[in-house]
Amino acid sequence: MKLTEILENLRKPVPKELISHKIIKGNRIDYISWVTLADLLDDRAGTDGWSWRMVDQQQIGNRLTQVWELTIIGEDRSISRQASGDEDVDLEAYGTPATNVEAQCLRRCCAKYNLGRFLWKKDRKSNLQLPPISQTSQPLKKGEITRDEWLRRFGNKQTQKV
């Protein structure tokens, strides 16, 4: 599948039954579990259509911080986005600080690809259907190139960095 097709698939609404809820400080928080996101990525990008890797991990004081990178792999090209997360090392909750931070990062990376992004919007009323990528671009000015053209020219250099 081409990258643009995968990106369109990731923008599709998430079925309501896949959204979980928890109460934090008296507020209901809606979220998608990391395992459900992995299933959605498998379904919408293909099992070989994405990769996930840790870029950095540090402990700063009592906080564990991590940076993870989600790469979407199309048959024509790939694109990567990173997200960070942090957790109190002494947290007494379900999971470990490392697994909790990884889950945070996966949710944030997926949101950067529009998968579950609506959950981050404070004023959301529903899982809004986003317009296709081709309809969201503005007309080009003289001397500008499209994102796709930039990726064709320079993108491979960016996705191959370590």
Q: Please tell me the predicted confidence (pLDDT) of residue 152.
A: 63
pLDDT digits (tens, 9 = 90+) for 22-72: 888 888 888 999 999 999 999 999 999 999 999 999 999 999 999 999 999
- Domain assignment present for residue 154? The answer is no
Whether 91 is covered by a domain: the verdict is yes
For residue 28, tell me if it sits in a domain: yes
Phi and psi angles of residue 96, each rounded to the nearest 5 degrees, phi first: -105, 165
Q: 146 in a domain, yes or no?
A: no
Q: In this structure, is residue 54 part of a structural domain?
A: yes
Buried b (16+ CB within 10 A) or exposed e, 53-76: eeeeeeeeeeebebebbbbbbbee
pTM comes to 0.74
CATH number of the domain enclosing 11? 3.30.390.80
| Domain count along the chain | 1
**Full residue range of the structural domain in which residue 91 is found:** 3-119
Please report whether residue 83 resides in a domain: yes
Task: Tell me if 50 is assigned to some domain.
Answer: yes
Mean pLDDT score of the chain: 84
Q: Is residue 150 part of a domain?
A: no
Report whether pLDDT(118) > 70: yes
What residues contact 85, with CB distance under 8 A and at least 6 apart? 65, 66, 68, 100, 101, 102, 103, 104, 105, 108
